[in-house]
Structure 1
C-alpha cells in the first residue's frame, strides 16, 4: 500500500485593501510622528505603510501616506477614526479615501526632469510646460523649486514621455514665454557627472578676445564679421581663425597682457566653478582662443586643465600665425575626451558648456551638452540651452538647489 501525499485544502486569505490618508494645513513639529503613531495603534489588525510623500510650500504641509491592510470596510472604518484622532491632536485636516492595494507595484517607466528657468518665471511658462507635457502623453509626478536667485527655477519630474518628444514640445513654450526649459533623463547618470569643460569667449568671459585684439590693430569691424559668421557655422573655423589671426601681425606681445587684464568673467562663473570643485568635479576650459590668455586665466581660477591655440610671437610681436595643432570644432571634442581619459572619467559623466558652432562636437560628445546664450544652430542641437546672463544657472540644470549651492560654497552670498 503506497502512501499518498495529502494536499492541504486552500486557506482563504483575507482580502487586502488600501487607503490614502492626506494631512494638510500649517506645518509644525510633530505632525508626522503623530500620524504614524496613530497608524501603529489603528488595531486590531496591523497596517502596512506602502508609500509616503510630503511637501511643505511656504509653511503649508501636505503629507500623503498609502497604507494596506486586511478587510476593506473594516480598514476604512478604523482609519477614519484614526484620522479624527490625528486631526484633533494636530488641528490639521486629515482625509481618508480608498486606494488600490497593488498601486505600489506600478510598471517601471522612464522619467525625466524638466527644468524651467527664468527671471522671472511667469505663470504662462508653467502652464505652457504642463500643457506641452500632457500633449505628448507625459504626466507630472512632482514639482520642486530649485532656486530663487539669480534666476528662479523649478524642476518637474515627468513620466510617460520620451526625451525627444519633450524637448520638441517644450522648445515652443520656451520661445513663447521667454524662459529656458531643459530636459534630462532621471536616474543615477544625472548626479554622476564628475567633469565640466567650459568654452571661454562669450561663455566663461564676456565678449570675444580676438575682437579685442583686432580693435587694437584697427581691424575690429572686419574681424567681428568673420567671428560672427564662424560662430554661426557659416565658415570653417580653422580657415576663419587663421584669417583673423593674420590681421594681428605686428601687434606688440604686451597687448595680450592688456586684453587679459580687462577680461570680465560672466556673472556666476566663479560660483559655478567653486561649487563644482567643492563637489569633487574636475573643471577646465577648452577654447578656440589663445593660450596666452587662457593659461593664466585657468591658473587664476584654479582649473584642472586648459586647451587653446597658441599665437606665434617673434621679436616681441605677433607674426599673424599660429603654433601647433589648431583647436577647432573637432579639436575641442578631442580635448574633452583627452581630459576625461586623463582623470579616468567616462564621457557620459562629463558636462560641456559653449555658445558657438565650433562647440557642437564637444557638446554632443559630453554626457550633457549645454548651449549658453548660444547661436540658434547650437541651441537646436545641444542637450539643453540656457539664455540667462548667469553662468551658475548651469547648477540648476544639473539639479542642484540654491540651498545646496550655498552649503557647498560658503563664499557665495545668499544674494549672489
Structure 2
C-alpha cells in the first residue's frame, strides 16, 4: 500500500512549518500563584449541569485552560484543565461534589502539573467498518497500534447502518512520511483475520481537502458487468467468458480482450443497449453516496471499460459531473462488433482522472479513486486516496485501503462522514430511507 503524504510533502505544494511558532502543542500559561488541575464530571445528561459546574468554578476564581464536553447515549462527560489556587483546592472539591451530586453527577479533581495544556494533534485516523464490530476487534486493533508505539487519542462512532463504523484518532511514534508503513501492513493483515475493514490515512487538513471522487463502473458503481449483460442478450456468454479467461491468464491485454469480446456482439440489434441499460442495478449505497458527495461540494465521476451508450442515462440520473467509457460502433441500427475512439483502459483511466482534476481546479492529492480490478491500478495509484472496493488481490495490494463489504456508503465513512449527518440531511430533503438488512454473523 502506498503511504499517504501530507500537503507539506507534496512536490506540487511544498510547505514548511519549521519556523512556525504556532506549530505543535499550544502552551497556555497559568496565572501567577495557581496550580494546574484536571476536573472531570460524568453522569446522566440533564439541563443545568454544565451551568452548575462552571458556577462552582467561578466562585473559586478558577482559570480555564481547556474544556471538552461530550454526550454519549444520554450520558454526559465534561472535563476541564484549569488553574486553581492551591489553598482553595479542597474547598473547590467539596463545592463541586456537593453541588453536582444533586444533579446526579460524579466529579473528580486531580492536581496535574505535568498535564499538557492542549490535546495532542493526532497524526493519523483509522476507520474501522464491519458487521458486526466486536470488542475483540477493537482490542486486536488497539494492541497492534500499541505494538508499533501508536497511541489512541479519541474514538467515536460514525456509522450504525448498513454497517458499524468507528473512527479512531491516532498519534504514531514516527509521523514522517513512510514512518507508519509497518503499522499499516500489520493493520491490513488484521482485516482478513477479523473480518472488518480498516482504513488509515493521515489526519488533518489533507484528509478534509478531497473534492473529487472517481468511480470505476462495473462491480463498483453497479453490481454487474456490462459486456456480460450484452453477451447474454446475444447468446454469446460462453464466447465472452472464454476471452475473459484468456485475459486473466495474461494471454491478452485489456484492449485486445475488449475488442475480441465486442466482436462477439456483431449483428446485435442496437435496441439491446436500452434493454441492458434498464437492467443496470446500482451497488447498495451508490445513490446515497453520490447524493451526499454532491451536497458536500464534491465533484463525482465514473470511468468505465464498458460502453457510454449503456451508461449515459444512469450517469444523468445520478447527476455525475464526468462520464467516460468506450463507444460501440452502430451502423444501420446494428452493432458492428467494433469499438470506436480511444479505449478506456488502465492507463487511460489514470489520464482521465488527471483531466477531471485539472478541469475542476484541483490537485491530485484532492482526488479519490474507487475501483475493483487490475484495470483500476493506475487510477488508484494516481489518486490522493485509492480505495479498493471488494477488489481483486492485485488492486488491494496497491490501494491505500480496501472495502470488503458490499456497501458503497463505506466510501463516505472512510472520508470521515458520520451516518448521523447523512441521515439528518436526507431527512431534511425527503430522501431518507433505510432498507432492512440481515445481520452477518462471523
TM-score with structure 1 length normalisation?
0.89
What is the CA-CA distance between 1:70 and the residue it aligns to?
A: 4.8
> 1:378/1:230 Cα in 2 relative to 1: closer, same or farther (>3 Å)?
farther
Q: Does 1:91 align with 2:104?
A: yes
**Given the alignment, which residue of 45, 66, 78 partners 1:63?**
78
Kindly provide the CA deviation profile for residues 230-260 of structure 1, in whole angstroms up to 9, marking residues without a partner as x.
Answer: 5798852222222222222222211111111
**Given the alignment, which residue of 30, 35, 38 partners 2:56?**
38
Match of 1:315 in 2: 332
Match of 2:205 in 1: 188
Instruction: Give structure 1 stretches of 5+ with no counterpart.
Output: 1-12
> 1:100/1:227 Cα in 2 relative to 1: closer, same or farther (>3 Å)?
farther
> 1:407/1:91 Cα in 2 relative to 1: closer, same or farther (>3 Å)?
closer
**Given the alignment, which residue of 305, 312, 322 partners 1:305?**
322
Match of 2:164 in 1: 152
CA contact (8 A) 1:163 1:184 kept: no
Match of 1:174 in 2: 191
Q: Does 1:142 align with 2:157?
A: no
SS in 2 for 1:166: helix
Instruction: Give structure 2 stretches of 5+ with no counterpart.
Output: 1-30, 174-178, 436-442
Match of 1:165 in 2: 182
What is the CA-CA distance between 1:310 and the residue it aligns to?
A: 0.7
Kindly provide the CA deviation profile for residues 354-405 of structure 1, in whole angstroms up to 9, marking residues without a partner as x.
Answer: 1111111111211211111111111221112111111112111111111111
Match of 1:415 in 2: 434
Q: Does 1:132 align with 2:144?
A: yes
Question: In structure 2, what is the Cα distance between the partners aligned to 1:232 and 1:375?
Answer: 14
Match of 1:17 in 2: 35
Q: In terms of Rg, which structure is larger?
A: 1
RMSD: 2.2
Question: In structure 2, what is the Cα distance between the partners aligned to 1:319 and 1:335?
Answer: 26
Question: In structure 1, what is the Cα distance between the partners aligned to 2:249 and 2:304?
Answer: 16
Match of 2:295 in 1: 278
Match of 1:118 in 2: 130
> 1:164/1:82 Cα in 2 relative to 1: closer, same or farther (>3 Å)?
farther
What is the CA-CA distance between 1:78 and the residue it aligns to?
A: 3.9
Q: Does 1:366 align with 2:374?
A: no
What is the CA-CA distance between 1:49 and the residue it aligns to?
A: 1.7
Question: In structure 2, what is the Cα distance between the partners aligned to 1:226 and 1:299?
Answer: 31
Match of 1:6 in 2: none
What is the CA-CA distance between 1:408 and the residue it aligns to?
A: 2.8
Kindly provide the CA deviation profile for residues 79-135 of structure 1, in whole angstroms up to 9, marking residues without a partner as x.
Answer: 3133223333422110111212552268x6552111111111122211111111111
Q: Aligned residue pairs: how many?
A: 398
What is the CA-CA distance between 1:320 and the residue it aligns to?
A: 1.8
Match of 2:65 in 1: 50
SS in 2 for 1:55: strand
Q: Matches of residues 255-274 of structure 1 in structure 2 within 5 Å?
A: 255-274=272-291
TM-score with structure 2 length normalisation?
0.84
